[in-house]
Amino acid sequence: MFGVTKKSLLIVILFVIAIKGYANEYITCNSCKSQPEFYSKMYSKAENLVTAHGYNGDIFVANFQDAKVYAWRVSAFYRFSDFDDDPQVHIRSYLINVPGDISYSVNGIANSSLMKNLLSQDVEVPFSRFESAWDLARTSYLRKELNDWFFETHQVQSRANSVILMFGSAFNSELSGIKVRFVFADGSSILMEASKLNDNKYFFTYVPGSAIDKDDNKIPEPGDPIVGNNYGFDTLAALYDFMNRADRYYNFRYNLVNTGGGKYKKYFVTVSRE
């Protein structure tokens, strides 16, 4: 009788299983800028979609921040090689024209007042709610409070729902990856990035390393070193404010250099261990 190997059995199984019907996929990638980045998102999605039945469908990748969308017709399947008993994923794809309704929704949402406001306008945070980016950089629970305040005062969720309903969208998480700058009364700022929760509500989370003071000095987060760093300030008041805040969390001393002004920062500080 004929011997049956693992490889030959899998070949028969994969051959006889009928290919399932078309299934389109819609991906949001607001960080994608170049076509290769869009392609990489498509390819990764196709790899995750393929099953023993294969995958056939159109995959759309959109950037709602820049009003860009690409579409590929994709066929993904398992195939054996001469060097491996396990099947490997193979993906065939080619660019197709984006249907008019998809282009309409992407362009409409990208050019909506909500998206323009999120991208072009800093959010001014009142002193009565949050004093400084120092607090947000070092206290995680305050970030949720800032998110809640932002959604309540700027009606982000309801405005997003209205815009998506107006233009229609087959995508999910149209705002995900959008970064918004929050500026505090002392001139310091942080970035918060949008993501979508399981209940289809958006939530803005703190972008690590984004907290800076008004002179663009990075505000240290818990665990960040401060010794050996250099900081520049336009005024002595700003310098002393930064050092007094840092003194709450670090034991250090600093050396002050007066540069005499000009187009550069007037005062520079080098932090050394006490």
Token pair recorded at residue 140: 């995680």
Whether residue 79 is predicted with pLDDT greater than 50 in this model: the reply is: yes
Q: Which one-letter amino acid corresponds to residue 157?
A: Q
What pLDDT, on a 0 to 100 scale, did the predictor assign at position 1? 41
Predicted model pTM: 0.81
Residue 20 gets which letter from DSSP? Answer: P
For residues 268 and 230, is the Cβ–Cβ distance under 8 A?
yes
pLDDT in tens, 4-52: 454 444 444 444 343 445 689 999 999 999 999 999 999 999 999 888 7
Paired with 139 in beta bridges are none
Residue 235 gets which letter from DSSP? Answer: S
Whether residue 267 is predicted with pLDDT greater than 80 in this model: the reply is: yes
Token pair recorded at residue 107: 């362009």
Residue 22 gets which letter from DSSP? Answer: P
Residue 265 gets which letter from DSSP? Answer: -
Mode of pairing for the β-strands spanning 84-96 and 123-124: unpaired
pLDDT in tens, 129-145: 899 999 999 999 999 99
Q: What angle, 0 to 180 degrees and rounded to 10, lies between the N-to-C axes of helices 140-154 and 156-167? A: 60
Helix (H) or strand (E) holding 96: strand 84-96
Average pLDDT in the chain: 86
Paired with 269 in beta bridges are 231, 256
Check residues 264 and 82 and name the one with the higher pLDDT: 264
